[in-house]
Structure 1
Amino acid sequence: MISNLEQTFRWFGPSDPVTLSAIRQTGATGIVTALHHIPAGEVWTPEEIKKRKAIIEAAGLRWSVVESVNIHESIRIASAERDEYIAKYIESLKNLAAEGLSVVCYNFMPVLDWTRTNLDYRLPNNASALRYDAAALAAFDLYILQRPEAHNEFSAEQQQAAKAYFDSLSDDEKDKLTNIIMAGLPGTDEVFTIAEFKEYLKKYEHIDSQVLKQHMAYFLQAIIPDAEKLGIKMCVHPDDPPFSILGLPRVVSTEQDLTDVVNACQSPSNGITFCTGSLGANPSNDLPGMIKRLGQHIHFLHLRNVQREADGSFYEANHLNGSTDMYAVMKNIILEQKKRQDSGRADVAIPMRPDHGHKLLDDYNYDTYPGYSVIGRLKGLAELRGLEMGIKRTLFDG
């Protein structure tokens, strides 16, 4: 029998309302976490890594994946300090490897991490989900951020919908929308002001997706040789959403983008975090096919589902329902595991975490990070675990 996927849960550290003891009760054995208190670009010291690892192991769990060692903006915009920050990044990797940590997730999204417009979208059963509303994003871009180029980037129909949405908002609702979109990195309470964000946009005035890809290739060619020597598998997380927003370029949104990433520095250490939610928000992405063609490069799995809408909006659906065929996704993941086992690869039990669960039941009593309630993710993990078992029994025991 092929090894099960390693079941993991994201944890935001000691301040996370979702405790390690609660996570252990979900059946997950691995923890996905990061040292969120260390600013992006600064070295993760051996002392801080050991301290976090000890807390996790004392709870009877394993630190399976580092998500994320964040990349300093100097690297993305190729400023004069980028080599200094790359050297710091490599130092962090060395310190992680010394503690046996070998899978490191990162992303190359400029300025903002994943972006939503509603953090409490109610489903028919009154569960709370995350939502990206295309009209809300356009309304923010056109009438709150007031980015001059935005009027050339939205169709007349999109601008009409954005204006109607904007006019429907109270001042408090406009402030709330701004704070949601301007949120900083996961695990922090940072929120950019409009003035701060406009300063970042200026730094990207002459950086399109082609140039940003060149900057990413430079970064990979600098760190991957060291990562390979250290036995670390780097895995890039796709853009979320997987298309340009607010004038910022995107470079990890399609199958071609992912192919370009792995070809930028060919190595077993240069791979992919396959996020079915991020990639699934783009209707042109064939997720089962992408796993079939790029599966050997997948080092980490984020399994969730989104329901796409005609105007480009989407919301987080149940893990087994939505626009992505999760059965076909899981089947191709298992077939990739079979290939690995047959070829003698050691990394058959790919780490997998249920991503962005709904708020359900007792989740409403805790102020968790958006998308990271415990019961909603527990439900998702249980569904994915059952799906995996069913497919494996059908394929190999029948």
Structure 2
Amino acid sequence: MRLSSLLQAVGAVAIFNIGLVTAVPSGHSNRYSHHHHEHSHGYGNSTLTKRTRQYFCDHANSALVASVDEIKAMLTTTIDRTTALEAFVRNPPAHILQHEQLLQSTFYTFEAIFGRLEYGVQSGKAADSISRVQRILAIATNMKTGLEGIVGNQDLEIYCSDAWLVREDRDGDIDMTNSYLYWDNRETRTEDYAENFETVHGACRDAATHYAWVNPSLSSSKTTSGRTNVMTLCQDNVADWITRYNNGKTIESFSKQTLSGQTPQVSIDSFQGQTMSTAMMHEFTHASAIVGTPYLIDESCTLTDGSTVKAYGWFCISQLGQNAPAQAINNADSFSIYATAMYLSLDDWSYGYPREIPSVTNPLNTGIAALMTHTGP
């Protein structure tokens, strides 16, 4: 889900061209990709229908409004829990507080995704830990603020179809040598531009593995800068998301369930891209109009066979967290999965699936201070 020009797939090798990002349904090898270009914005509440109608989203308005509201709820929870984590990392308490079960869940999950946390004044590495926690907190805060003002944001355009891409340019010419070249046919366009989807083998209409993508910098007559972030939600997936929304299959509904101990085990990956809210959560991290700058990118991940792909899904984001925390905090799927985990349950998600953390029975002798071992310099 990202920027503008070339796309790549998760299972293959994601390639950046001009700034494009794509997403692929869960379970497929392609999920997101990155490119470069600036513009894109989206929804609000009462005036959302007006904003989306010109972007071919009128049929999806109810699901869009609900999804944006759900993302804001996810971000609120993420902000609250990460704020508590920052306070702990800065100055861990001498004894266990009643909310320690929640704090443990946040700590373990954050550490698995964004790298080991050193905490307390006795640790010379605490400053780096605090900085990483603050970076994630800032992303969540900026995104929530951006979404609060999304209705009036002229720097973002959201489409529920790739119909704004056409095969012929203004002169009616088609590049017969590249069947994946499409021209920008938006009414807001101010200059000729062609999206090249060759790397990911096509736009939404060509590749069932794509579910969304963002071009961060397309021309636009709607903004003072003349640029917009453009988000495209792939039409087939929009239809699926609307059906799931109508059937009550939302992240909010999942958050009310007991997820740990289920058979088969519930994977955090199973939620990514399966609802409009989780798909858009990832995409919004690529949109400077929503999350600010620097926006997040799709970092690289090395698989067990030595191949390099974009860092989507638990395997890759946990590898980044373990081996490259500095890259993890800038990786879109790392943030998206973290926010999803924060909202879903109080479980420890540090293994990619929910594990229950027992409640404290003796707050003076058990809990986070005793269970966490990173207390040395």
Q: TM-score range by the shorter chain?
A: under 0.3
TM-score, structure 1 as length reference: 0.24
Structure of higher RCO (CA pairs closer than 8 Å, 6+ residues apart): 2
